[in-house]
Amino acid sequence: MWTIKEFAEKTFVSPVALRYYDKTGILPTKRLENGYRFYDEEDLLIMKNLVVLKYAGFSLEDIKILTSLYNEPEGQSCNDTANEVLRRNLTDMKDRIDMLQRIVAIIEKLTPLFDSHELYKVNQLTLEQQINELFDQINQLNTKADK
């Protein structure tokens, strides 16, 4: 059993964020008789999942759906809910990875050009076109994700 301060130190998540997760129901906490929050091993497991999912780009809304499943009876309904959220986010993650790989390729082409201003000037138009294409593709992905 950990206090909020101990749990924050253990998980590298600020007490402010922990209170927010409690308030929004993402990680509801248990309370002692004196009203103080406390966290246990199950909370640690949920928090580890939350940190990984957040890093992977899952929305807090989707994370809340997944963390709420810890309080539901096991069964196909839980599996179906988890699978829907995970599959949707997996598709989004693959799209982001593809976009990041394209951006890395452009940056790898770009960095040697800064060795010489003349080289950069010669290739500037091509690079700007590639950036504009990526910008449009990112906006398409964001529009798709908002739907």
Cα–Cα distance, 62 to 74 (Å, whole number) = 19
The string of pLDDT tens digits covering residues 16-72 is 999 999 999 999 999 999 999 999 999 999 999 999 999 999 999 999 999 999 888
The CATH-assigned architecture of domain 4-71 is Orthogonal Bundle (1.10)
Q: Cα angle at 12 between 32 and 23, to 5 degrees?
A: 45
The string of pLDDT tens digits covering residues 62-112 is 999 999 998 888 889 989 999 999 999 999 999 999 989 988 988 887 777
Q: Give strand ranges (E) for 4-143.
A: 30-31, 37-38
pLDDT attached to residue 146: 66
Cα–Cα distance, 10 to 13 (Å, whole number) = 8
Cα–Cα distance, 125 to 87 (Å, whole number) = 39
